[in-house]
Structure 1
């Protein structure tokens, strides 16, 4: 059959129109959406402790950190023995590196810490002087470090772990090795208030936190932490918030976690889950295997923590959730306890674990 020329032209035109329409339809398809991340999902800032060497040494570490987090906490590089290894001689190189990296990538910096009973240089441990000399040592260190980072860090853990586990009193002289506080011994019980005052005078815009572990235990430890921060607040001491470390394991009581978060929120201060990790081997089993059941249990605990934090702490008081590092290979737990463990969100190859997805669900569901 011979198709008339006019009909043939119309037929060709129709084909071209259909092809053009198909091309347009193909172009109008939306681009694939990026996978959700911790920082894109959370209604508050998501943080991790970081070390300067890890940032410098691993492209995968850098990439995961930048992609998932918008807040960092200095791991060790701003502690006393690192910053002032000799009296009056300050070493800020590694802390400066962390701050510069965070600033470049638009991350908040939470600095850790001014005053702790550990991580002290020998010159402090062996210091000989009267109460005025001790006060000058104490004040000079806080003011010098706070002034150096003024305007560069958003917040500080001013005093870390000042309360005993057994009876809730302030650490003083050693009962168990390593439990005593040289600061309480030489400066008196009110050294904590003065630490906050000195930090505030040096950097009035920084938010100032008291940081400790064991709130989820309840009992005298939680009672004493609540009493301490409430007293500081009522006295007009410039305290902004409290850090709930949350170094826990998969058996930690959900009821205890919930009760602690409610009581901390009731102080009216900001609440920072500041050092979160969840151990799966609290019994130090040398033959443990990270089974799918353990992974599921750990993921459920991460999810519960995020959900409970969102539900119990008012939005204005949510300073965020910070994990203590993010990759199992960088966790402090295996080396400290000499055991196998997998406490964090990413495995040693920076692959997301079930724990990651559990936390992600808790941040949005």
Structure 2
């Protein structure tokens, strides 16, 4: 297995914009908090492992401050949507749309960033033609093979790693009822990894899922499932913990999820991190210093736990979005990411740096 090297930095990037305190009534919706030191080194330069985010193609093309933060802070990027099946093969079998994915990979290479591919097989983001496809089991397997082989081969040597299968288990640890399970059977998981490995033997291949920090049952099921597949020679190299979590979840549960996943001996990736403040999705929620301090602590704990892993096992941290405007949490006030509504670093950003500083 070839592991993508930890990036070493040549330049130290500093923010060129001033860092200010949150203030009540401003467009951040934040409380009065002390300013963050504007001379903090970037995440990518401070981190002992790759630090990244899921990116929006639209914002990459159209939002300057977004790009400034991405280029200054990150050395690994994941496409939020551009590499999902509904985007790559939206209209028909064997008819692909590469524009956004090509742009994404070109952007990464131009800025010396690692690309993590997300995701090859999932029950969501399926084009309508897949849901209406009538075929035998053998034809469904060929569909899966053809799609994975085509996508992975196109980016062979350019995408370092892939989430090959995403969310195949439900919270009680049993297989999720998906079209792939219905048409092929549980072997679709094994086949997907074998097809991806055949297409790019050097790519690091992940099983990706959520809930490890809040369900010990699911955590154990994910780890046991993957270990059993690996024992049978299935080329799974790592486990992704999405870690869409919240301040009500204990820091110990988050740390346990990471350390117990590492006990599999596989590579560990915190792959879709955000820490919600408004866990109950209250429309009247107002951000407050207590919640902000807890969020900072949770981010610090997660970053510190990843620091404890052997370098060969740490694929790093990826947040699901750059700043709060990018969050997938809609419909009620929330501020789950490291940068605020103006893409300025928040207290939780400082928490991540505190985890890194403790290593010195």
Decide: shared fold, TM above 0.5.
yes
Q: Which has the higher contact order (CA 8 A, sep 6+)?
A: 2
Question: Which residue is 1:352 aligned to?
Answer: 345
Any conservation in 2 of the 1:38–1:360 contact (CA below 8 Å)?
yes
Q: Which runs of 5+ in 1 are unaligned?
A: 1-32, 173-180
Deviations 1:126-179 (A, max 9, x none): 1111111111111111001011111110000000000011x211112xxxxxxx
Select the residue among 329, 333, 342 that pairs with 2:325: 329
Greater share of residues in helix: 1
Q: Which moves more between the two structures, 352-361 or 255-264?
A: 255-264
Select the residue among 69, 82, 89 that pairs with 2:87: 82
Cα separation, 2, equivalents of 1:305 and 1:145: 32
Question: Which residue is 2:295 aligned to?
Answer: 298
How many correspondences in the alignment? Answer: 320
Give the TM-score, by structure 2 length.
0.87
* Structure (1 or 2) with the larger CA radius of gyration: 1
By how many angstroms is 1:292 displaced? 2.1
Query: What RMSD, in angstroms, separates the aligned Cα atoms of the two structures?
Result: 1.2
Deviations 1:17-39 (A, max 9, x none): xxxxxxxxxxxxxxxx9631111
Cα separation, 2, equivalents of 1:299 and 1:226: 28
Say whether 1:38 aligns with 2:34. no
Any conservation in 2 of the 1:265–1:314 contact (CA below 8 Å)?
no
Say whether 1:202 aligns with 2:199. yes
Select the residue among 91, 96, 109 that pairs with 2:97: 91
Deviations 1:326-357 (A, max 9, x none): 110011112xxx11100001111111111111
1:153 is paired with a residue whose SS is coil
Cα separation, 2, equivalents of 1:352 and 1:135: 46
Select the residue among 232, 235, 238 that pairs with 1:238: 235
By how many angstroms is 1:46 displaced? 0.3
Any conservation in 1 of the 2:119–2:165 contact (CA below 8 Å)?
yes
Superposed, 1:1-365 pairs within 5 Å as: 35-85=40-90, 86-165=92-171, 167-172=172-177, 181-311=178-308, 313-334=309-330, 338-365=331-358
Cα separation, 2, equivalents of 1:261 and 1:330: 25
By how many angstroms is 1:314 displaced? 2.1
By how many angstroms is 1:315 displaced? 2.2
Give the TM-score, by structure 1 length.
0.86
Cα separation, 1, equivalents of 2:215 and 2:122: 22
2:48 is paired with a residue whose SS is coil
Any conservation in 1 of the 2:259–2:305 contact (CA below 8 Å)?
no
By how many angstroms is 1:293 displaced? 2.0
Cα separation, 2, equivalents of 1:258 and 1:295: 19
By how many angstroms is 1:240 displaced? 1.0
Any conservation in 2 of the 1:218–1:260 contact (CA below 8 Å)?
no
Q: Which runs of 5+ in 2 are unaligned?
A: 1-37
2:213 is paired with a residue whose SS is helix
Q: Which moves more between the two structures, 284-293 or 134-143?
A: 284-293
